[in-house]
């Protein structure tokens, strides 16, 4: 068979799936899980309790099976886009470019909120709601060409897009504008302003796409230093791949042969869940800092340990679940998504749950 008869797309898919036949660099790796284990092994202020991890694994597996939790759960949310086409690719890219730091020091009624379709949305869903609201108003907020066209996409228009239903502005508004403009420029320079071209460049490798985002887009390059070693978290790059995989049910733009290389997303909500499950523990001084709602600066060793041990804790949960049921259709992504949704369901009875840690940054 001559080379031009070879189905290169299938070849790339098989290469990514079986990690063979790729260039001598071997299949792409993100290094996130290995870095998380390094942080866990060297953590003195955050620990993981294996007894609780084993119990939590049973609880999570039972509940996920009862709910038939799967990739299709993602599209069931009323705000998430349903179309299996490029518009959803662009929506998810825009969403995960801005998917950070929604927490507020104000009360539940005074915090930034978006009123959309008769409901009041806060947190992550306030972002999804304001993007949908802009599209309803024919503002092309998910189009990379729009982000770089400062005549059309003025700061005033962006203030309308991010407008609040309360007196509080969305946290880090200026940083969000910078992320849009920078990503728009990078897409224009390297991918002809096409997110689909960016995805296709990764040739169905999840790790490859994560690495491409970290390499080409500074605002996705979520890294830190711990014990003098560079550590990668890549939270928004990874959740972008995971949201694509879920939204497209693992097909088309969401088809990745190595999707299980994606780890838990080191945000501020899942560590809170892992603590309330007894999986993750904080030393007294760190726990007091969190309970007093006092800030932990971005890059602080405590923050590195919280993020690294959360990633490693979900990996240990996943291993325990597979020990209970070897053919469980569960990976770190679905465990993570489930824990996030559980956290949102329980938001009303947060009284018995430790507050989430307060680190203000564009990384999560």
Ligand X SMILES: Nc1nc2c(c(CN[C@H]3C=C[C@H](O)[C@@H]3O)cn2[C@@H]2O[C@H](COP(=O)(O)O)[C@@H](O)[C@H]2O)c(=O)[nH]1
267 makes contact with ligand X (CB under 6 A): yes
Among residues 38 and 124, whose Cβ is nearest to ligand X? Answer: 124
Q: Please tell me whether residue 5 adopts helix, strand or coil conformation.
A: helix
Active site residue 267: yes
How is 172-226 classified by DSSP, letter by letter? THHHHHHHHHHHHHHHHHHHTT-HHHHHHHTTT-HHHHHHHHHHH-GGG--EEEE
> Of the listed pieces 20-28, 87-95, 210-218, 260-268, which binds ligand X according to CB under 6 A?
260-268
99 makes contact with ligand X (CB under 6 A): yes
103 makes contact with ligand X (CB under 6 A): yes
**Among 40, 91, 93, 100, contact with ligand X (rule: CB under 6 A):** 100
Task: Please check whether residue 304 is in contact with residue 223, taking contact to mean a CB–CB distance below 8 angstroms.
Answer: no
Least distance CB 339 / ligand X (angstroms): 7
106 makes contact with ligand X (CB under 6 A): no
Among residues 175 and 341, whose Cβ is nearest to ligand X? Answer: 341
**Among 22, 49, 123, 140, contact with ligand X (rule: CB under 6 A):** 123
91 makes contact with ligand X (CB under 6 A): no
> What is the contact mask toward ligand X in residues 40 to 79, using x (rule: CB under 6 A)?
----------------------------------x--x--
Least distance CB 225 / ligand X (angstroms): 21
Q: CA 158 to CA 318: how far, in whole Å?
A: 41
Least distance CB 40 / ligand X (angstroms): 17
Among residues 69 and 191, whose Cβ is nearest to ligand X? Answer: 69
**Among 57, 199, 259, 270, contact with ligand X (rule: CB under 6 A):** 270
256 makes contact with ligand X (CB under 6 A): no
> Of the listed pieces 12-20, 48-56, 95-103, 286-294, which binds ligand X according to CB under 6 A?
95-103
**Among 299, 341, 354, 358, contact with ligand X (rule: CB under 6 A):** 341
Residues with Cβ within 8 Å of 5's Cβ and at least 6 positions away in sequence, in order, are none
Among residues 94 and 99, whose Cβ is nearest to ligand X? Answer: 99
Catalytic residue among 243, 258, 267, 336: 267
269 makes contact with ligand X (CB under 6 A): yes
Q: Please tell me whether residue 358 adopts helix, strand or coil conformation.
A: strand
233 makes contact with ligand X (CB under 6 A): no
Among residues 302 and 337, whose Cβ is nearest to ligand X? Answer: 337
Among residues 203 and 357, whose Cβ is nearest to ligand X? Answer: 357
220 makes contact with ligand X (CB under 6 A): no
SS3 content of the chain, % helix, strand, coil (to 5): 55, 5, 40
Contacting residues toward ligand X, per CB under 6 A: 74, 77, 99-100, 102-103, 123-124, 265, 267-270, 336-337, 340-341, 364
Which residue numbers are catalytic?
267
């Amino acid at each position: 068979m001559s080379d031009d008869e070879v189905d290169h797309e299938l070849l790339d898919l098989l290469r990514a799936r079986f990690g063979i036949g790729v260039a001598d660099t071997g299949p792409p790796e993100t290094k996130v899980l290995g870095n998380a284990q390094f942080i866990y092994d060297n953590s003195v202020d955050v620990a993981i309790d294996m007894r609780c991890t084993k119990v939590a694994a049973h609880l999570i597996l039972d509940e996920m099976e009862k709910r038939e939790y799967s990739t299709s759960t993602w599209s069931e949310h009323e705000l998430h886009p349903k179309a299996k086409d490029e518009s959803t690719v662009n929506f998810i890219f825009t969403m995960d470019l801005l998917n950070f730091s929604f927490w507020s020091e104000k009360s539940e009624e005074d915090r930034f909120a978006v009123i959309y379709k008769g409901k009041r949305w806060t947190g992550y869903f306030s972002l999804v709601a304001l993007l949908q609201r802009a599209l309803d108003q024919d503002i092309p907020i998910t189009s990379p060409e729009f982000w770089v066209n400062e005549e059309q996409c003025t700061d005033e228009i962006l203030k309308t897009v991010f407008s609040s239903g309360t007196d509080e502005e969305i946290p880090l508004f200026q940083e969000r504008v910078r992320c849009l403009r920078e990503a728009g420029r990078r897409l224009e320079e390297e991918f002809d302003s096409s997110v689909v071209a960016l995805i296709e460049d990764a040739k169905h490798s999840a790790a490859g796409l994560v690495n491409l985002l970290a390499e080409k887009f500074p605002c996705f390059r979520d890294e830190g230093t711990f014990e003098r070693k560079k550590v990668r978290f890549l939270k928004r790059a990874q959740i972008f791949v995971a949201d694509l995989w879920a939204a497209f049910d693992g097909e088309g733009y969401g088809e990745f042969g190595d999707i299980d290389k994606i780890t838990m997303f080191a945000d501020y909500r899942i560590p809170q869940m892992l603590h309330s499950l007894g999986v993750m523990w904080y030393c007294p001084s760190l726990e007091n800092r969190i309970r007093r709602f006092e800030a932990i600066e971005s890059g602080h060793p405590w923050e590195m340990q919280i993020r690294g041990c959360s990633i490693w804790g979900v990996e240990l949960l996943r291993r325990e679940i597979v020990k209970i049921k070897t053919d469980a259709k569960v990976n770190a992504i679905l465990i993570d998504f489930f824990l996030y949704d559980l956290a949102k369901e329980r938001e009303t009875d947060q009284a018995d749950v430790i507050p989430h840690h307060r680190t203000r940054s564009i990384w999560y």
